[in-house]
Amino acid sequence: MLFTIVVKLVLAIIMYSFVMGLAALLTWMERKESAVMQDRIGANRADVLGFRAWGLFHIIADSVKMMLKEDFIPPFSNKLIHNLAPLISVLFALLAFACIPFGGTLKIYGKEITLQIANLNIALLFIFATLSLGIYGVILGGWSSFNKWAIISSQRAVAQLLSFGFALAAIFISIVMVYDTFNLQVISQKQGELLFGFIPKWGIFLQPLGFILFLIVGIAETKRIPFDLPEGESEVIGYFVEYSGLKFGMFFLTDFVETILISALTVVFYLGSYQIPYLGATGFVFPGGFQIALPHIVVVLLQVIAFGIKVFIGCWFLLLVRWTLPRFRYDQMMKLGWEQVVPLSIINIFITAIIILYAKGALNL
């Protein structure tokens, strides 16, 4: 019992230090990546004893600034809910990481440790629930501020998240049909197999349309450009317009945590989770019969590192999208959601069903 608690605690510390560290790094990456792709240099002036370290100290400077700013609570706001909203927002974004597997099963000193905080059988539903509950932070934040822009903005956010949440449900259904399970650890293990003997059985090869749709919906769920209508600076500022200091910082952090979450989910569902192509439990086994034997601990370590690198590249891609595309108009966003993504995701379910039935031989074409 004690052993289980200690192991889970260690796993939680590893997972959340990775997530929070990456979220802090993303604030720097967002500035630097956008600068490099726009032929600029980006923030590089914060220095410690003359060392600039490519502007990495801006992470510390930013967080110190957030903490030291006056935390002003508007006198006309509903204070309890006003204080609660950023907590709810960041809590549900972080909670979803509890059931994301970052590695396979580690066998050490005769014990088996699954590298995942909570190996839930209904992990997919749990993630869907946390993604949906994240809306409450936005609604309560906008509503308790008693500010017209904040309310309009949270209405926009809710309309956007609901319409894309519907498509997300349809995409999850096709994922469940392909992998035949709600368990993310099992989904990850199944992606280690091979398709036709040489293609890794990753979700992107099984669900190419689903992959694109999930990316679109995922970017919409993070509420960042091109789907940043709730935060349109030039029109409605955002549902956090009345927040300052660390509470604004929590909303700000939620954006980055959600970016990491969407990246991690894309990796788990479509990009082979922690699997490396042709890396089995005993080492690399290439289709030609060529083999490299590796000890168990090295295999597990390589897989964990592979997961981290994949999530990092996913975050890089999401930032690239955020700094490339212009914002949608509101009607364009709604049209994209209800007239294109939702029908396509439902069509995806039918295509998936037909292929699965055909593969099982239940369909005579």
Partner 1 sequence: MKVTREMGLKERIYIVEVVRGLYVTSKHFFSNLSIHIAHLLNLQKEKRGAETYQYPEEQRPYSHRLRMRHRLLKRQDGTPRCVACYMCETICPAECIHIVAGEKDDPLIEKYPVSFDIDLSRCIYCGYCVEACPCDAIRMDIPENKITAYDRNDLVLSINDLLI
Provide the minimum distance between the beta carbon of 208 and partner 1 in the complex, in angstroms, as a whole number. Answer: 12
SS3 124: helix
Nearest to partner 1 of 286, 316 (CB atom):
316
| Residues 100 and 115 sit within 8 Å (Cβ to Cβ) | no
Provide the minimum distance between the beta carbon of 142 and partner 1 in the complex, in angstroms, as a whole number. Answer: 30
Nearest to partner 1 of 6, 41 (CB atom):
41
Nearest to partner 1 of 44, 78 (CB atom):
44
Which residues bind to partner 1, rule: CB under 8 A?
A: 33, 35-41, 212, 320-321, 323-325
Contacts of 227 (CB under 8 A, 6+ apart): 160, 164, 219, 220, 327, 328, 333
Q: Give me 210's structure tokens.
A: 């689903």
Provide the minimum distance between the beta carbon of 45 and partner 1 in the complex, in angstroms, as a whole number. Answer: 9
Cα angle 225, 228, 229 (rounded to 5 degrees) comes to: 140
Nearest to partner 1 of 39, 233 (CB atom):
39
> Residue 156: which of 254, 237, 86 has the closest Cα?
237
How far apart (Å, rounded) are the C-alpha atoms in residues 192 and 307?
13
Provide the minimum distance between the beta carbon of 212 and partner 1 in the complex, in angstroms, as a whole number. Answer: 7
The values of phi and psi at residue 145, to 5°, are -75, -20
Q: Which residue has the tokens 């992990």?
A: 123
Q: Give me 136's structure tokens.
A: 């409450």
SS3 200: strand
How far apart (Å, rounded) are the C-alpha atoms in residues 265 and 102?
11
Nearest to partner 1 of 20, 212 (CB atom):
212
Nearest to partner 1 of 93, 220 (CB atom):
220
Provide the minimum distance between the beta carbon of 348 and partner 1 in the complex, in angstroms, as a whole number. Answer: 15
Provide the minimum distance between the beta carbon of 333 and partner 1 in the complex, in angstroms, as a whole number. Answer: 12
